Amino acid sequence: MKINFIDLQSQYKKYESEINKEVLEVMSSAQFIGGSKLNTLEQSLATYCGVNHAIGCSSGTDALLLALMALDIKEGDEIITTPFTFIATAEVIALLKATPVFVDIDEDTYNIDPSKIEEKITPKTKAIIPVSLYGQVADMDEINQIAQKHNLIVIEDACQSFGATYKGKKSCNVSYIGCTSFFPSKPLGCYGDGGAIFVNDDEMAQKIRIILNHGQDRRYNHKYVGINGRLDAIQAAVLNVKLAHFDEEVSKREEIGQKYIDGLKDVKGIKTPFIKSDRNSVFAQFTLVCEDRQMIEEKLNNAGIPTAIHYPKPLHLQEVFEYLGYKEGDFPISEKISQKVISIPMSPFLTNEEQQYIINTLKRDND
Ligand SMILES: *Cc1c(COP(=O)(O)O)cnc(C)c1O
């Protein structure tokens, strides 16, 4: 059996005629940047999340960067985030010469621990970037409350959680700004790079739109330092098709996730994801925490089952952030979890047969 870690080919086969038609329309219209496909997508995304403005952009990384640029984040500012995430979350902070300030994670959800945030706030703190890791929204009520008390902005890094629900609200609609990614392997993926920014505030939306187009407020008139951060029409065309099927895919993800949780609950040495009762997960990754990761990895790989590690080294121990002066032991939960996590195949197109084979392989005793 050949199992894909994420099965994008089956997905394309299912939507092929719709996607081809939409993409070919872009080709024949020659409207490659902006235009009606992008406008339609932005409308649909805003409606889907219940936010006033959804702004398509070039990637999840650029969504985060644009949010920080629009907030005028600059050298010396401090931004609180988690060390247990993909590099992009902290990279954009450093790119603007601001300082990432890390806070350890919760041992059950692997998201930032709100009870450890306040002790890190200083007069230089400007914003908090919680990450909704693996597809489960972070503790946004607690985080928003802390932010309000200290007059800080909250930006949700929702690059893994598009489509997830938190207390009846969609991810990307649970803080001042929400940023997501449409990288192909994300829950809602395009056929290249893409992302989106969500905000209710009209003025902020306007400013972000200007910054993502070279700071240009009208043609060849430049108000801010900006970037080329646009989402192209072909990606928008692909996303319009996939978004129409997305709720069905989210249900399938939940169903498959639950089947893994039930099927693996009695396996010794493996912890399945813990999802809080007031939210769900879209399982961008289905990630296990193992007592003996190497053994599990070999067992799966030897059976032809692909795995991945998200993430093997927390950001405070990365060479690029040496200058921040952190050391081993500073964030013990992130450090411990990074040694034990392993992600197994997950997509709405994982078949029953494939999933049962993965579960059986994990349940099999070592000989
Ligand atoms: C994927 C990801 C990003 C970056 O998104 P790109 O579209 O690849 O730039 C940022 N943060 C997290 C948590 C991610 O998983």
Residues 136, 112: contact at Cβ < 8 Å? no
Residues 345, 116: contact at Cβ < 8 Å? no
- Which of 201, 64, 82 is CA-nearest to residue 138? 82
Q: How far is the CA of 75 from the centre of ligand 1 (A)?
A: 23
pLDDT at 1: 77
The span from the CA of 158 to the CA of 278, in Å, is 17
> DSSP labels for 72-85?
T--TT-EEEE-SSS
pLDDT at 112: 98
Break the chain down into helix, strand, coil percent, rounded to 5. 45, 15, 40
> What is the token pair recorded at 76?
């010396």
Q: How far is the CA of 81 from the centre of ligand 1 (A)?
A: 14
Q: Any residues with Cβ below 6 Å from ligand 1, and which?
A: 59-61, 85-86, 88-89, 131, 157, 159-160, 181, 183, 193, 195
Question: HSE on the CB side for 31, CA within 13 Å?
Answer: 13
Q: Which helix (H) or strand (E) holds 60?
A: helix 60-70
**Which residue from 6, 105, 181, 334 has its CB within 8 A of the most atoms of ligand 1, so it is best to mutate?**
181
In this structure, which amino acid lies at residue 316?
A: H
Nearest CA to ligand 1 atom 10: 88
Nearest CA to ligand 1 atom 14: 159
Q: How far is the CA of 146 from the centre of ligand 1 (A)?
A: 25
pLDDT at 147: 98
pLDDT at 366: 62
The domain segmentation of the chain, as residue ranges, is: 8-244, 246-363
> DSSP labels for 232-249?
BHHHHHHHHHHHHTHHHH
Which numeric CATH code is attached to 8-244?
3.40.640.10
> Any idea which architecture 246-363 has in CATH?
Alpha-Beta Complex (3.90)
CA distances from 342 to 232, 266, 273, 285 (A): 34, 18, 11, 9
Q: How far is the CA of 232 from the centre of ligand 1 (A)?
A: 18
Q: How far is the CA of 88 from the centre of ligand 1 (A)?
A: 6
Strands 125-129 and 78-81, bridge-based pairing? parallel
Residues 158, 282: contact at Cβ < 8 Å? no
Encode the chain (367 residues) as per-residue pLDDT tens digits.
Answer: 789 999 999 999 999 999 999 999 999 999 999 999 999 999 999 999 999 999 999 999 999 999 999 999 999 999 999 999 999 999 999 999 999 999 999 999 999 999 999 999 999 999 999 999 999 999 999 999 999 999 999 999 999 999 999 999 999 999 999 999 999 999 999 999 999 999 999 999 999 999 999 999 999 999 999 999 999 999 999 999 999 999 999 999 999 999 999 999 999 999 999 999 999 999 999 999 999 999 999 999 999 999 999 999 999 999 999 999 999 999 999 999 999 999 999 999 999 999 999 999 999 976 5
The residues with which 271 forms a beta bridge, in sequence order, are 289
Nearest CA to ligand 1 atom 1: 159
201 alpha-carbon distance from chain centroid: 22
**Which residue from 57, 58, 61, 285 has its CB within 8 A of the most atoms of ligand 1, so it is best to mutate?**
61
> What is the token pair recorded at 347?
């997509």
Q: How far is the CA of 164 from the centre of ligand 1 (A)?
A: 16
The four Cα atoms 36, 38, 41, 45 give a dihedral, to 10 degrees, of -140
The three-state secondary structure class of 323 is helix
Question: Beta-carbon neighbour count of residue 90 at 10 Å?
Answer: 28
Atom of ligand 1 nearest to the CA of 85: 13
